[in-house]
Structures are given as C-alpha cells and as structure tokens.
Amino acid sequence: MIDDAQKYQKVTGFGGFVNSPQFAYGHMSESEIRRLWGPDSDMKYNIMRLYLPVGSEYWSQSLATAKLAQSLGIMVFASPWSMPAEWKTNNSTSGVVTVGGVEQVGRLKEEHYEDYANYLNDFVVFMRNNGVELAGISIQNEPDYKVSYAGCLWTPEQIAGFVRDYGHLISCPIIAAEGVGITDNYARAFLDDEGALANLGIFGGHQYGVIENAHKEFRGRGKEVWMTEFLINWNANRSEDRDFIWSVDAFDFARAVNLAMLNDVNAWIHYASKRYYGMLGDGTNGTVNSEITKNGYLLSHFSHYTIGATRVKANWMDESNVLEGSAYLTEDGDAVVLHVINAGTEDYQLVADLPFFSDAVKVVTTTEHTNMETTLTNLTEATFRPRVLVPASSFTTLIFSKSGDRIPSTMSSEPLIFNRLDDMSLSDPDFGAGFMLSGQTAVFDHSSPLISVHTDASQGYVMLDDRYNKLVFSVEDISSTLSYTSANTTLHYINDDGLVRSHNYGTVEFNASGNFDWVLDISKHVLPEGCIGIIGISNGNWSSILTLQFGDVYFLKGNEKGYRFSGVYSSGDSYFASALEDMSYTFLDLSDVSDLPLETSWLQGRANKNMLVRAAADFESETPNVIAGNLCRNLQLQGGSGSFYSLMPFTAASATFEGEWEGFEMLVLPFEALVPEDLRVYALDYDGDKVFGSTLEAGALIAAHTPVLVYGEGPVTFLGAGEVYLPKTLDPGLMVPVYVAQEAPVGAYVLKMRNGYLQLEEISSESAVQLLPFSAYFDFNGDEHREVIPFVLDDGTRLDRFEVEEAADGRVYDLLGRPVAHPRKGVLYIIGGEKVLYH
C-alpha cells in the first residue's frame, strides 16, 4: 500500500568515489567516468566523491577528474583523510602511529583549528578558480575510526565545535561528520548546537556501522543527510577468495541501499566506483575490466528512477516477509516508483495499491542473468490496484504512470486484533504491567528482556485463554547499536502441566528497515509440552542493543485477521479492498460506517466466503454473513472457502453450511443444525479403547461445536439457526473444534484412512497435517500414545469396504430386505449378505 500523504525525504542522488588513497590517482579513464556519471550515461549517477590530497602541492591530482565531472553537470564533493601532519598531536598524517610500543592517536591541535578551516577553504577556492564549484567539502573522513593510514580522530563535540566556530571561513556547504555509521552521537552534537547546525550544510555518515535515529530530525531542520561511503567486500575475513554470488551479494547490496533510503537518507555514495565490489569491474574476482557489475546495475535502478523523487510510505502486506523495498513519488506527481527486492525462490503476484489510477506500468528487472530488462505494459483498464509479476531472485523497479485521480477514501481503519497480549489475564498481580507491549517502544538485550525480567513463575505469568500457535510482534521500527540480530532468543513459559519451561529459538535476524512481523512459533511442534502461560523472552545480546517500536502484540491460531472501519462507506478504501482480497481476513467491523449498500454486491468478491461483517444495529439487509447489532439474518458458511473466526457472539436467524463430501470426514459447526436426508452422520464417543460412532437419524439435532463423523458423496447443505460463538479451548476436552486453518498439534489424533480402514492417527513431531476449518481433532491430554485408535460404528457399517461389487444375482436390498432397483450413493444397503455403503 503506497500512501503519498506520508512523505519523507527528497532524493538528491547516487554515485561513487573516484580518487582513492588506496589506489592510483586517476584510475578511472574518461570513458569509464562518462559511462557511469551524467544524464547521458548508462548508469545516470549524479554525485561524485573526490579524495582531498594532503598538502596543497598535491591538490592538482584531483583537478582533471573534478573538471570532467563539472562538465557532465554532476555534483562533486571532496573528503579529506588527514590535514598536514604538523598540525596533529601525533605529528603524522596517519590516524594512529606506534612509537616505542606506545600508540599515539592523531587529533587536530586546537591552535590549528583556524588554519585547518582556511586550508579547506583554500581547496574550495582552488577548485573554483579552475572552473569547479564543489557541492560540499567534508571536515574529516571517519573521525571515529582509528586507522594506520591517513586519518584523524574527532569527538562529536570537537567536530561540532569546529564547524560552529570556524565553519564561516569555508565558502561552500560543509559535510560532517562522515563517521563510520550514521550515529546519534554525531547527529545530536549538531542538532543540539544551533551555531554548529547553522554552519552545517549536509550531515554525512558511512554505512559500515549502525544507522540510528537522531539524523531523521535534520529534515525538519532544513538539512540533508548523505550516506557518503559504503562497500561490501565479499572476500573480507575469508580464508579463500571467491567471486560474486548473486543470491548473497546482490541482495546484501540492494538491501544496504534500500535501508539507507528507508532511514531518510537523501543521497547514497559508494566507495571505489571501479573495483570488483564496485559499480565497474577491475578485472579481479570474476569481474571484467571496465564492465558494469551487478552492483552497478542495482544502484542504477535507484539513479535512473528516483533522483528528484520523494520517498513516500509503503506498507508491505506480504505475510511471508520475503518482499521488501521502498516507494517514491516523482517530482511532478505523475508516477509512483516502487523498488522491490525479491530474494526468494518464487515469483510473486504483487498488488500495488496506488494513490491514483494507472493504465500503464514500466517494469525494470535485474536478475542473475539479466540487467535492467525493461518492459512497458498497458493495463486492460485503469485501476488503482494493478497486479504485476515480480520474478524470483530479482530486483525489480515498477513505475506506475498516473492516468486519473483516485477519490480519497472516506473511511478510517485500524487492525482488529482478536487476542492481544495486553488483554490476557495474570496469574499473579505482582507480575506487573510490562507485558503490555502493544504500541510501546522497548529495549531488548541481555539485561532488558521482553514481557518480564523473570525466568521463573515466582511473580506469576501471563495466562493464555486458548490454544494458540503463534505469538506475533508487529515491529513498526527497529534500531540497533550494532547488528540487527537477537542471540540465544529464549522463551520462558508454562507448559500444560503448569511447569516452567524454556525454549531457545537461537539467533533471530531482524529486517533493519522495520515494518515486519516477528513471529514466535509456540505450537506443539516447537513446544511439545504445550504452552498455557508466558513469562518472558530473554536474549544474549551485549553489544547489539535492540530498540523495538511495536504496533500490536498478539496471539494467533492460524492467520486470522480483521479490520475495524469508521466513517462513510467507500468501496475504494485500500484496506477494505485488501481485506476482501485476502483469505486470511475473517472479521470486518463496519458498525461505525454509514451508507453501507443494502444489496449484496459489495461483498460478493470477497476471497474468504466465510468472512463476517458487523454493521450497525439498524442495518436491515439480507446480505449474507452481515451481523446487524448482534443479529445475522442470513449466515452462509462454505467448506473449503476460508477460516471462520468471530469477534463476538451473535444470533443467526437462518444458518447454512454447504460442503462437498468424498467419503468420511469430520465436521463441526458453530451453530445448531439438523442432520440432512440421505446422509450418514455419527455422534462420537471414546470408551478407552476405540471411538464409537452412534447414528444420528435425519432431522436429528447436531449441537454447536460438537464434532461428528459424516459420510457422503457430493454436495450437502446443513440447515440451522441460533446462537453463534467461538468457544475458548484452553482445556479442549476430547474433541477439539477447528474453525481456523492450522497445523494439527503434536500428540493430537486426526482422522485417517489407511489400507481401507478408518482410524485416528497420532501426529508426531515429524508429521504435518493441515486441519481445515469446520473439522476437528482428538486430544487425549497425553493419556494416549498409540499410533492408531480404531473406529466402530453402531449400524455395522464396514469402514474398510468402499469399492462395492454387486452380488452374483445382481440384487441390491434395503435394510428391510426389499430389492432396490435404483440404489443411491451414500445409502446403507445389503449386498451379498453384507451391510455396506453403496458407491
């Protein structure tokens, strides 16, 4: 969902570094530079970073490249690695030198602050006098990094003080601090010092370290943020060199650029532009000299289509969390650009919810075997929700052209969370309120667990009111002091027997861009002893302190979802349209929405046919599955058409369930219903040795939430009415109703047909059986550990006989011994002297 009402930074540009102290000066030829930079180039980069040589006698080394860049109409800025050695505390251009075994750190002496400001300005004037107007000049490359090569250390206070007191001497925009990361300490030094901020042109930082949050305030203060250096060296810290690997390195690179964009960065500049890990190959590690690399093409996706555009909010609704990216609105507002990273192995049919109507989409895709392959597709009709195929293992840019205005929605919406962690009861009030995480920001490290600080039940625990399979943390934003991982992530919980247990989920990797769901599997496949209470979640993070901004924190049985709307009904509302298209949505609350249509067409296109919609009490309509107040006039449920999960109990004036039978199946309904004609239905009971089935005659009443065994062939409709609700099943008893599609828990028994015999089969940790809505499983609470449990039916039906052959005389008899000329499938007859169901 792309929301152009929520705007972020305007994108200034992309580019790379040319002159580097590690490589020969002028190592890129004119033709190579022209291929990467400028509006007429292949890559369309528009920013170039230059090395500021130490000593004015060497400044001319950068001049030829700078003049070429100026002629191409691109922005050029320069970064110094060191000032002259005599101005530093270690009397060396190196950042750190060791003399007599003692480390001597190089810092600029305060008495030379003014000299250095004039020195930087002299370089600006030198370039200006030679026809090059710098877009910026940096104070220091990586002032927070000790290096043996050229370098100088500055504290945040020192560099901010320098800019405050001497920045006026420099006659072009000042870039600072260019630290190893984009960190709060350097950002706050400027944001909290009005004098320093006034003299600052651009806040710069590198992406080797963490990207924190304070820099986002610069946009509100009229300053840009540039990421001025980054590289991924895929041979670093490896015993053997290796060449580029698309499935690893391409997505690491694309994610790095995208992460910076999602963190309000206006410009992104790579380190060495010509290098095997850069944008142009240098002939090593599998690259071809002077040929554009995959990284070059990936960065070109951004430079081609997002320079000058403004990033807007993109809310990713992909539950698999595979797709990621960012969205932009062009300067004229006539197109939306969506960058999509698909590191997965499957194609995706992406729905883009746009702020306008579009009738054409340009698709630009780079894969392992293609480079910015471009197609233009004219849609069959203008729509604000076009569908586009995103290939597996690809970086794809989608450019949606505006063809018409979209009427803004008159509804507001919010997710409807059925089982919020905050709403659960406590076993002991001394547990505290720290478990109420929804809408909160929490620190997560070795000393700051989530939910509670306890690992035992001495202060109680959060009591679960149902058998849940997932604990979901909706993470809106995340930051870290180092890596975005949680080590030894351990859940402390209460098992079915009331005992304290723990489970280590290992290292959890988080999406640094935020906007994701962190899901802990708490099913019996992971916690085989069950889970009836939560104590807390701890981890082993010491250096990587995570700060998590949560949306909702809640429990799920499957993937059930809901939405609550208010305002005047709008069929074009983004969230309403998505809910109708998504099978996971089971309940929509529209009780505060006016002008709902009385006709049924507004819900006919819903993907989940069993989804419920609540309307105001005075809504008088026969629209199926609409609850007016607490009355549903026409409840229509269908087998195989989606999960059923109600937020509230209600009364159904008329209720039906339509199913398609192919033999024996378990059935459970959320309302009382009658046994249909010509259908075999059995009430079930367990006698300690077998499951016994008692015949229910046609017209008999099937109680709500009571599983029965049904035999039939073809379509069947159950009729009923009355109270409809969903029972909590923390202590489920023998037979557990299933209304939400889910995996059968370990230790449960499910209906199986093996070698012609109907039986209950135990689910082991190695087996997986998907339970469909309106089915059931048996739970013997750990009392049974047999592989199978047989069925016995009271009418003598042989459950092991399905392919029926007629007797030698070809006669079929009913149960009274009368011959039947036209036997019907699914009816019990006597054939060959045996009672069997006819097929």
What is the per-residue pLDDT across 784-805, written as a single tens digit (0 to 9) for each?
A: 677 888 888 887 765 544 333 3
The separation between CA 181 and the C-alpha centre of its own chain, rounded to angstroms, equals 25
CA angle 702, 707, 711 (to 5 degrees): 80
- pLDDT confidence tier of residue 239, bands split at 50, 70 and 90: confident
Instruction: Write the Ramachandran bin of 458: left for phi over 0, alpha for psi from -120 to 50, otherwise beta.
Output: alpha
Q: For the domain bounded by 2-314, which CATH number is listed?
A: 3.20.20.80
**Per-residue pLDDT, 813:** 67
> Which of 708-744 are b and which e, b meaning 16 or more Cβ less than 10 Å from the residue's Cβ?
bbbbbbeebebebbeebebeebeebeebbbbbbbbbb
* pLDDT in the model for residue 803: 38
The answer to whether residues 361 and 400 touch, using CB atoms and an 8 Å cutoff, is yes
Q: Helix or strand or coil: residue 604?
A: helix
Q: How far is CA 547 from CA 229, 438, 449, in A?
A: 25, 14, 11
Q: Output 167 or 829, whichever has higher pLDDT.
A: 167
**413 vs 318 pLDDT, higher one:** 413
Mean pLDDT check: name the lowest of 12-26, 460-474, 559-573, 795-809: 795-809
Q: What is the pLDDT of residues 180-203, one digit of tens each?
A: 999 999 999 999 999 999 999 999
Question: N- to C-terminal Cα distance for the chain?
Answer: 51
Q: Report the pLDDT value the prediction gives residue 235, as an integer from 0 to 100.
A: 83
Residue reference for tokens 């019996």: 524
Q: With cut-offs at 50, 70 and 90, classify the pLDDT of residue 806.
A: very low
Cis, peptide link before residue 177, omega less than 30° from 0: yes
State the amino acid at position 160 in one-letter form: A
pLDDT confidence of 690, banded at 50, 70, 90? confident
Per-residue pLDDT reduced to its tens digit, 67-119: 999 999 999 999 999 999 999 999 999 999 998 889 999 999 999 999 999 99
Residue 253 CB burial class (10 angstroms; 0-12, 13-18, ≥19): buried
Half-sphere exposure of 574 (CA within 13 A, CB side): 25
pLDDT digits (tens, 9 = 90+) for 660-688: 988 889 999 999 999 998 889 999 998 88
Instruction: Check whether 427 has a pLDDT greater than 70.
Output: yes
Which pLDDT belongs to residue 767?
82
Would you say the C-alpha torsion 195, 199, 202, 208 has a positive or negative sign? negative
Confidence of residue 807 (pLDDT cuts 50, 70, 90): very low
Q: Quote the CA–CA distance of 203 and 379 in Å, as a whole number.
A: 43
Give the CATH superfamily of 323-406: Golgi alpha-mannosidase II (2.60.40.1180)
Q: What is the pLDDT of residue 236?
A: 79
- Mean pLDDT, the chain, rounded, equals 92
Does residue 810 surpass a pLDDT of 60? no
Binning pLDDT at 50, 70 and 90, where does residue 737 land? very high
- What's residue 814's pLDDT? 62
pLDDT higher than 80, residue 130: yes
Greatest CA separation for the chain = 118
Average the pLDDT over 805-810 and give the result: 44
Sign for the pseudo-dihedral over CA of 434, 440, 445, 447: negative
pLDDT average, residue stretch 531-540: 97
Highest-scoring range by mean pLDDT, 367-371, 476-480, 824-828:
367-371
Better-scored residue on pLDDT, 690 or 75 = 75
pLDDT score at 808: 42
Closest CA to 138 of 12, 17, 37: 17
The answer, yes or no, to whether residue 825 has pLDDT greater than 90, is no
pLDDT band of residue 53 (cuts 50, 70, 90) is very high
Query: Can you give the pTM of this predicted structure?
Result: 0.86
Q: What CA–CA distance (Å, rounded) separates 200 from 120? A: 14
CB atoms within 10 A of CB 236: 8
Structure token pair of residue 133: 């107007």
The predicted structure's pLDDT at residue 797: 67
Band of pLDDT at residue 832, cut at 50, 70 and 90: low
Taking a C-beta distance cutoff of 8 angstroms, is the pair 831, 813 a contact?
yes
pLDDT one-digit tens code per residue, 277-328: 999 999 999 999 999 999 999 999 999 999 999 999 999 988 778 999 999 9
Each residue's pLDDT tens digit, 503-526 = 999 999 998 888 889 999 999 999
Determine the pLDDT at residue 801: 41
Predicted local distance difference test score (pLDDT) of residue 712: 87
Measured distance CA(572)–CA(47) in Å, rounded: 41
What is the predicted pLDDT for the residue at 432? 94
Structure-model confidence comparison of residues 820 and 281, the more confident one: 281
Of 628, 649, 648, 646, nearest to 637 (Cα)? 646
Task: Classify residue 782 by burial, with Cβ atoms within 10 Å: 0-12, 13-18, 19+.
Answer: exposed
Residue 353 has pLDDT above 50, yes or no: yes
Question: How much is the pLDDT for 822?
Answer: 63
Say how far apart CA 77 and CA 138 lie, in whole Å.
Answer: 8
Instruction: Indicate the pLDDT class of residue 145, thresholds 50, 70 and 90.
Output: very high
Q: Answer whether residue 240 shows pLDDT above 90.
A: no
